[in-house]
């Protein structure tokens, strides 16, 4: 329910949009900061590594200088070798032992003076002995053979010595000889690698960093993780060091002996083939960055929440009148216009909308009052029209009539296009031997036509009692209708008088449709010469058509609502369709069957379209079976 409001949706959209922007920019910033952090760490690590390498280099260079100096002295002081190495060892406490091994003149009679060695014993005492007692002849051992080839000095492989717990490494220098014999022996100074391990522990390394020293074969000479000392570095580290790539990122997936990604920074130690390295877990390197990023994210989320809350409050405050307008709009939908609107005096969109809504409400109230009055007026008019319809229907006789002697039967139908119409039919007796029938159509429609129709019927009944022919009836009725006819309304009328004893039918037409004679199973139009419509010309004359009805003959009188009926195609029903409809009704059919059949065909033709005009239809049947012979058909002019 809360999220259905515009204010809530706007605040949520701002929150989501800002969060997306913050995540994207935060990711880019994190990537950039990560690169900067790694670069900064590399610079710091390089400084630490370089500093440590310089310290190691100084210590190594000192031992190398001692070795080279000793070798130079032994060049021509072979006999003084025991004393020289003793004095040298005494002067350099970092050295564990010093050897001066010469190539024996006779390997089968090696003397102690050929390979003197002085070792530093427990408590710092110096112990002199000879390498002649080594388990393996020293002149064939690897260190001696390699040392003979080290004219400028070289570091031997680390080794362990019986009786000493630490790892040792020796620096060997070939003792120069004469031009005939270039090398006469090897001067070797051995140091313990414990000082190297102590040096690593004394370095000012970054937290979580571990330092190591490895030789050219990748063997760890010293390591902050002492269990690694003497083991070989992982293949990825050795390969990276061989290519000179620096720094190196090692991961467990690469096969490195690490549990997480680490960065390794290293520097070679000149003259030894060793490297000093510093490894740092990437997690530790980026820990501060990650912590800072998380704090920034948290602060950013708090800021977003605060901005969204402020936006929600401000938006709700600004749009509060719109909520009231929405409720009032529902009141308007229910027809309730009596309510109060918020007092919005500002001139922004909300203020303009509120004032427009209030104006619309008053306008709508006025329209509703007008509509109600109109509806009441329409109800009154409809009621009056219904009353008028009832009165109009009361003016016309019953639709079915059968003469007392059964000779004449008629059926009529009146179907107004609206509540009231201008079509009419009527029939009445004229004395004891005549019956008058009329079918008419008043110009125009609606109430005026209905009133004119009522006037016509009333006058016709009155006038017909004083006349005996249709011509006289129409002429007298015409003169009466012309009186005071300022609106120039008129009525077409077909009037017929039937003699009840003979079936002689006299007809006169005042501008009306020609009647149809249904006789012997066929239908024909009866040609009745017509005069002008009633109500237009006071001097009008109306010829009479006289004809004798035979038994079973039916005369059908109708208005133009039948012949001019049409639907969407705008084609009129017409006289031909009317004759076809009548002829399809079998001989001997009742007047009601004829009227109903014609009306059904007209309804089918218009296909349910609204009635175009009023319809009046009357069928008169002569039932005298004895009336046979030649039909009399003549025209008489009055």
Chain segment 351-404, per-residue pLDDT in tens: 888 888 888 888 888 888 899 999 999 999 888 888 888 888 888 899 999 998
pLDDT at 163 over 80: no
Dihedral angle, C-alpha 157, 158, 160, 165, nearest 10 °: 170
Predicted pLDDT at 87: 92
Structure tokens at 67: 């070795």
* Element (DSSP H or E) covering residue 98: strand 95-102
Alpha-carbon distance of 577 to 261, in angstroms, equals 103
Alpha-carbon distance of 31 to 495, in angstroms, equals 108
> Tokens 């690593």 identify what position?
200
> Tokens 């009601």 identify what position?
592
Q: What is the mean pLDDT of the chain?
A: 86
Which three-class secondary structure state does DSSP give residue 354?
A: helix
Torsional sign, CA 281, 283, 287, 292: positive
Give bridge partners of residue 496 from the DSSP assignment: 437, 507
Which three-class secondary structure state does DSSP give residue 197?
A: helix
The pLDDT-based confidence of 101 (bands split at 50, 70, 90) is very high
CA distances to 87, 142, 182 from 171, in Å:
18, 13, 20
Going by the DSSP 8-state scheme, the letter that residue 634 receives in this structure is E
**Contact by Cβ (8 Å): 547, 512:** no
Pick the closest to residue 255 from 241, 235, 227 (CA basis).
235
**% residues pLDDT > 70 (the chain):** 97
CA distances to 452, 484, 534 from 540, in Å:
19, 17, 8
pLDDT at 501 over 60: yes
* Element (DSSP H or E) covering residue 523: strand 522-525
The pLDDT-based confidence of 630 (bands split at 50, 70, 90) is very low
Alpha-carbon distance of 306 to 283, in angstroms, equals 32
Pick the closest to residue 414 from 454, 361, 377 (CA basis).
454
**% residues pLDDT > 90 (the chain):** 30
> Which string of DSSP letters, residue by residue, matches 158-211?
PEE-TT--SEEEEEEEEEE--SSSSEEEEEEEEEETHHHHHHHHHS-PPTT-EE
**Contact by Cβ (8 Å): 607, 568:** yes
Pick the closest to residue 439 from 356, 507, 488 (CA basis).
507
Predicted pLDDT at 428: 92
- Alpha-helical runs (H) found in 75-166: 81-91, 142-148
Structure tokens at 568: 């969407």
Three-state SS string across 470-515, please?
HHHHHHHHHHHHHCCCCCCCCEEEEEEEEECCCCEEEEEEECCCCC
The pLDDT-based confidence of 495 (bands split at 50, 70, 90) is very high
Which three-class secondary structure state does DSSP give residue 521?
A: coil
Which three-class secondary structure state does DSSP give residue 103?
A: coil
The pLDDT-based confidence of 637 (bands split at 50, 70, 90) is very low
Alpha-carbon distance of 442 to 373, in angstroms, equals 32
Predicted pLDDT at 638: 46
Predicted pLDDT at 384: 85
Cβ count within 10 A of residue 168: 17
pLDDT at 471 over 70: yes
Q: State the Cα angle at 478 between 472 and 480, rounded to 5°.
A: 105
**Contact by Cβ (8 Å): 604, 518:** no
The pLDDT-based confidence of 12 (bands split at 50, 70, 90) is confident
Alpha-carbon distance of 318 to 327, in angstroms, equals 16
Structure tokens at 594: 């004829």
Q: What number is the average pLDDT over the span 200-208?
A: 81
Axis crossing angle, helix 446-464 with helix 349-395, rounded to the nearest 10: 10
The pLDDT-based confidence of 628 (bands split at 50, 70, 90) is low
Cβ count within 10 A of residue 91: 9
Ramachandran quadrant class, 443 (left: phi over 0; alpha: psi -120 to 50; beta: rest): beta
pTM of the model: 0.50
**Contact by Cβ (8 Å): 237, 81:** no
pLDDT at 502 over 50: yes
The pLDDT-based confidence of 197 (bands split at 50, 70, 90) is confident
**Contact by Cβ (8 Å): 424, 443:** no
> Which string of DSSP letters, residue by residue, matches 268-322?
EETTTTEEEEEEEEHHHHTHHHHHHHHHHHHHHHHHHHHHHHHHHHHHHHHHHHH
Predicted pLDDT at 620: 95
Q: What number is the average pLDDT over the span 556-562?
A: 93
Which three-class secondary structure state does DSSP give residue 386?
A: helix
Predicted pLDDT at 631: 55
- For the chain, what is the radius of gyration of the CA atoms? 67
**Contact by Cβ (8 Å): 61, 69:** no
pLDDT at 274 over 90: no
pLDDT at 418 over 50: yes
* Element (DSSP H or E) covering residue 69: helix 6-74
Which three-class secondary structure state does DSSP give residue 211?
A: strand
Ramachandran quadrant class, 574 (left: phi over 0; alpha: psi -120 to 50; beta: rest): left
Structure tokens at 492: 């077409």
Alpha-carbon distance of 471 to 500, in angstroms, equals 19
Please compute, for residue 179, the number of CA atoms within 13 A of its CA located in the half-sphere on the CB side. Answer: 0
pLDDT at 44 over 90: no
Alpha-carbon distance of 365 to 357, in angstroms, equals 12
pLDDT at 30 over 60: yes
């Amino acid at each position: 329910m809360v999220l259905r409001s515009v204010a809530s949706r706007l605040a949520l959209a701002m929150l989501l949009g800002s969060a997306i922007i913050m995540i994207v920019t935060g990711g880019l910033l994190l990537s950039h900061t990560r690169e900067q952090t790694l670069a900064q760490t590399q610079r710091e690590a390089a400084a630490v590594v370089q500093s440590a390498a310089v310290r190691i280099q100084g210590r190594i260079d000192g031992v190398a200088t001692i070795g080279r100096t000793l070798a130079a002295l032994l060049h021509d002081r072979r006999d003084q070798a025991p004393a020289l190495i003793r004095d040298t060892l005494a002067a350099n406490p970092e050295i564990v032992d010093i050897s001066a091994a010469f190539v024996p003149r006779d390997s089968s009679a090696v003397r102690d003076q050929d390979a003197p060695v002085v070792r530093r014993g427990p408590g710092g005492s110096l112990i002199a002995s000879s390498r002649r007692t080594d388990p393996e002849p020293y002149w064939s051992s690897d260190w001696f053979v390699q040392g003979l080839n080290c004219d400028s000095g070289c570091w031997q492989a680390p080794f362990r010595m019986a009786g000493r717990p630490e790892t040792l490494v020796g620096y060997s220098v070939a003792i120069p000889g004469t031009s005939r014999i270039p090398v006469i022996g090897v001067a070797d100074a051995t140091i313990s690698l414990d000082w190297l391990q102590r040096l690593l522990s004394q370095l000012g390394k970054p937290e979580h960093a571990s330092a190591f020293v490895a030789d050219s074969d990748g063997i760890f000479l010293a390591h902050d993780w002492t269990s690694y000392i003497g083991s070989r570095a992982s293949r990825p580290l050795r390969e990276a060091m061989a290519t000179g790539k620096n720094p190196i990122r090692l991961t467990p997936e690469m096969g490195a002996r690490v549990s997480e990604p680490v960065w390794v920074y290293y520097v070679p130690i000149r003259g030894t083939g060793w490297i000093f390295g510093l490894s740092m877990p990437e997690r530790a390197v980026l820990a501060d960055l990650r912590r800072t990023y998380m704090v920034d994210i948290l602060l950013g989320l708090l800021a977003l929440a605060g901005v969204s809350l402020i936006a929600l409050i401000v938006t709700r405050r600004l749009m509060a009148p719109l909520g009231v307008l929405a409720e009032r709009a529902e009141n308007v939908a229910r027809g309730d216009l009596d309510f109060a609107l918020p007092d919005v005096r500002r001139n922004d969109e909300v203020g303009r909308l509120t004032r427009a809504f209030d104006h619309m409400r008053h306008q709508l109230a006025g329209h509703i009052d007008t509509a109600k009055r109109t509806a009441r007026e329409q109800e009154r008019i409809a009621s009056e029209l219904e009353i008028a319809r009832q009165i109009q229907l009361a003016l016309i006789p019953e639709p079915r009539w059968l003469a007392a002697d059964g000779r004449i039967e008629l059926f009529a139908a009146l179907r107004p296009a609206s509540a009231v119409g201008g079509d009419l039919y009527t029939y009445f007796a004229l004395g004891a031997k005549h019956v008058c029938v009329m079918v008419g159509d008043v110009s125009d429609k609606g109430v005026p036509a209905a009133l004119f129709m009522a006037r016509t019927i009333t006058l016709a009944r009155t006038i017909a009692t004083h006349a005996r022919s249709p011509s006289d009836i129409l002429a007298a009725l015409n003169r009466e209708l012309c009186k005071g006819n300022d609106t120039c309304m008129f009525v077409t009328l077909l009037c017929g008088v039937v003699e009840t004893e003979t079936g002689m039918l006299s007809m006169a037409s005042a501008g009306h449709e020609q009647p149809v004679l249904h006789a012997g199973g066929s239908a024909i139009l009866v040609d009745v010469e017509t005069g002008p419509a009633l109500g237009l010309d006071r001097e009008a004359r109306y010829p009479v058509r006289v004809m004798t009805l035979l038994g079973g003959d039916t005369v059908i009188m109708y208005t133009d609502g039948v012949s001019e009926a049409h639907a969407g195609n705008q084609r009129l029903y017409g006289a031909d369709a009317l004759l076809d409809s009548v002829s399809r009704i079998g001989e001997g059919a009742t007047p009601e069957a004829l009227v109903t059949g014609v009306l059904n065909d007209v309804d089918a033709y218009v296909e349910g379209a609204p009635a175009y005009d009023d319809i009046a239809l009357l069928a008169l049947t002569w039932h005298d079976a004895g009336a046979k012979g030649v039909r009399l058909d003549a025209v008489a002019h009055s």
